[in-house]
Amino acid sequence: MVSGFPANYWINRYTVLDISRQLRDKKRSFTELSDIYGFSSPSYFSCYVQKYLGVSPSDFRV
């Protein structure tokens, strides 16, 4: 069945859900998470989180 959404929609949706789950676990640093998800830098990871979750990674963990 065709969903009507482009592939990047589903990739981002899964990634955002997984990142939010990982951010709840405070054992991993933001640098480690950015490496796990293949971001080029922790700052790009932070921008991605800000864009899709609406808050910075630090604020998400509070």
Q: What is the pLDDT of residues 40-56, one digit of tens each?
A: 999 999 999 999 999 99
Q: What is the pLDDT of residues 32-41, one digit of tens each?
A: 999 999 999 9
DSSP letters, 8-46, are HHHHHHHHHHHHHHHHHSTTS-HHHHHHHTT-SSHHHHH
pLDDT above 70 coverage of the chain, percent:
98
Q: Which two tokens stand for residue 53?
A: 């979750």
Report domain extents, the chain.
Answer: 27-62
